[in-house]
Structure 1
Amino acid sequence: MRFTLLLTAATSALLLAACAPETPAAVEPVAAEPVAEVTEAAALTVNVLDCGKIAISDLDAFSSAGDYAGQADEFTNTCYLINHPNGRLLWDLGLPTQLVGQPPFTQQIFTVSVEKSITDQLAALSVVPSEITYVSLSHSHFDHVGQVDQVQGSVWLVNQKEYDAMFPPDGAPLADPTLAPTYALFQPMERQIIGAEHDVFGDGSVVIFETSGHTPGHASLQLMMPEAGPVLLTGDLYHRTESRALGRVPRFNYNEADTVAAFAAFEARATNVGAKVIIQHEPADVTPLGGVIR
């Protein structure tokens, strides 16, 4: 969601100083490999992490059609630990670490809160951050990048369009300058520039695919689960069940036409593979999972 969340400058500066090495590490960009045809699902398991709650006092910003005005709602904010025989991928990084354990914080139309950090939730699963092979974001809004300080040893998978939105070439201004200290924490990470479709483990079981429009390089995730079968995680392509059913585009999206095109491509993929769709901010989709996708 493209809204500013103001935390103290001192806190952000302290966090940056503690976590950022002097020089960034990077690997050469690689082209996307063709997605392998899956004949048998890999032994995947997925843990659903609670990366915060977001109460919205007025949903008008979430529909350019104007039909959400005056409505209120509460969103989940979820991150996903994908466990593959050849490594682990953490999908999305939730609300800022500084909010963990603090009273709910209200700004503009949002009231946000975080009960436990990603690190604490990993510990409950007997996983430490150093065991996270890859990190990837659906997109770079404040509620999806907030705990990057905890996964500094992972390889960051990012497409060029979203990378350029976070680090504009030629010194162009950021869409949200307040996020610069958080974005700076991504720079020291080893990164891999991926294409429009990226097969993370090379067997078709975990595929990142672009669904641009919410942000320039917004992405969604396809999982081939042994029990559930194909599963698609939306990122913020959709925020609510109603948004998907009605094709509603938030007013703050980067590009409405691109978003509508992404809706069509996503739905075609969902139909073609017979996927279960999980809207990451929708409690009705997340709560029944009980913390696990198998």
Structure 2
Amino acid sequence: MNQQAAKRLYLMQVGLMPDYQIPIVCYLVQTNDDRNILIDSGLPEVIPDEAAEFKNGHDVIEQLAIIGLKPDDIDTVISTHYDIDHAGRHAAFPKARYVVQRVHHLDAASSPRFAPLRAEWDQPPERVQLVNGDTELLPGLELIETSGHVPGHQSVLVRLPKTGTILLTVDAVPFAEGFTRTAQDDGSNPDAEAIRISTLKLLDLAEREQIELVIFGHDGAQWEGLKKLPEYYE
């Protein structure tokens, strides 16, 4: 048994877009050597007026407390990207290192899109681990670069001993209906070609690895049938 390997995956719904019943989610991976790795942190404690379409629920800190974890217990925060519904509580974890794609972190520094949340994601450099492209963070936990939704977005692959491999597409493919080789550009995506390339990359990965569980970032219908904390996948 690899002592660093992923052993458990928790799913948490921390908020909602009520008008569309779209869940706002984050994840927790636990390893054989008792590390706690958070994937995203949900919405900020106070949602600004310009993001009024979001509504907080039981936040990530409340949910972690259900399984006996405090903010100090989080060793690592994998930041898929710095949007308000994914990085809203980053600053709550004083002992964590933050793992983010270099391209995204550098782009965010000058992007108005991420400026309102800068106090959360702009952590001291010594606590930020910048990665370049696809990266094995530890055995059973891989970061997959999937630009398109934003530059340097990353999805996450989790290999578990019983469940097998789970792919967290996050916002690269937020809904199951978009997980297709047929282009679906409604004109609203600023980088539709990059989204298409990343979608094909994840489809190829799912086929090559024969992944049976692909969890989409905001799919309310799928979310209803998934295990949520305190339940877990192992």
Q: Which TM bucket (shorter chain)? A: 0.7 to 0.9
* Residue pair 1:209, 1:219 contacting (<8 A) in 2 also: yes
Taking the aligned partners of 1:247 and 1:277, their CA distance within structure 2 comes to 19
Taking the aligned partners of 1:183 and 1:251, their CA distance within structure 2 comes to 29
Number of paired residues? 227
* Residue pair 1:42, 1:226 contacting (<8 A) in 2 also: no
Aligned residue for 1:142, secondary structure, equals: coil
* Residue pair 1:157, 1:193 contacting (<8 A) in 2 also: yes
- The residue type equivalent to 1:83 in the other structure is Q
Question: What's 1:118 paired with?
Answer: 60
Verify: 1:256 aligned to 2:192, yes or no: yes
Shift of 1:254: 4.6
Taking the aligned partners of 1:128 and 1:216, their CA distance within structure 2 comes to 32
Verify: 1:278 aligned to 2:218, yes or no: no
| TM-score using structure 1 length | 0.70
Taking the aligned partners of 1:238 and 1:272, their CA distance within structure 2 comes to 18
Question: What's 1:29 paired with?
Answer: none
Match for residue 179 of structure 1 among 117, 131, 152: 117
Taking the aligned partners of 1:231 and 1:53, their CA distance within structure 2 comes to 23
- Consecutive unaligned residues in structure 2, runs of 5 or more: none
For 1:73-92, list aligned pairs within 5 A: 73-86=20-33, 87-92=35-40
Taking the aligned partners of 1:211 and 1:281, their CA distance within structure 2 comes to 16
For 1:1-294, list aligned pairs within 5 A: 42=5, 44-56=7-19, 73-86=20-33, 87-99=35-47, 111-168=53-110, 173-184=111-122, 186-187=123-124, 190-201=127-138, 203=139, 205-245=140-180, 247-249=183-185, 251=187, 253-275=189-211, 276-291=213-228, 292-294=232-234
Structure with larger Rg: 1
Higher relative contact order (CA 8 A, sep 6+): 1
Taking the aligned partners of 1:133 and 1:119, their CA distance within structure 2 comes to 14
Taking the aligned partners of 1:167 and 1:43, their CA distance within structure 2 comes to 32
Taking the aligned partners of 2:214 and 2:222, their CA distance within structure 1 comes to 8
Aligned residue for 1:143, secondary structure, equals: coil
Aligned residue for 1:200, secondary structure, equals: strand
RMSD: 2.6
Q: Which segment is superposed worse, 238-247 or 283-292? A: 238-247
- Consecutive unaligned residues in structure 1, runs of 5 or more: 1-37, 57-72, 100-104
Q: Cα distance 1:158–1:250, how it changes in 2: closer, same or farther (>3 A)?
A: farther
Q: Cα distance 1:175–1:116, how it changes in 2: closer, same or farther (>3 A)?
A: closer
Q: Cα distance 1:43–1:256, how it changes in 2: closer, same or farther (>3 A)?
A: closer
Aligned residue for 1:261, secondary structure, equals: helix
Shift of 1:181: 3.7
State the Cα deviation string for residues 194-222 of structure 1 (Å, max 9, x = none). Answer: 12112122x2x010110111111011000
Q: Cα distance 1:43–1:195, how it changes in 2: closer, same or farther (>3 A)?
A: closer
Q: Percent identity?
A: 21
Taking the aligned partners of 2:113 and 2:54, their CA distance within structure 1 comes to 21
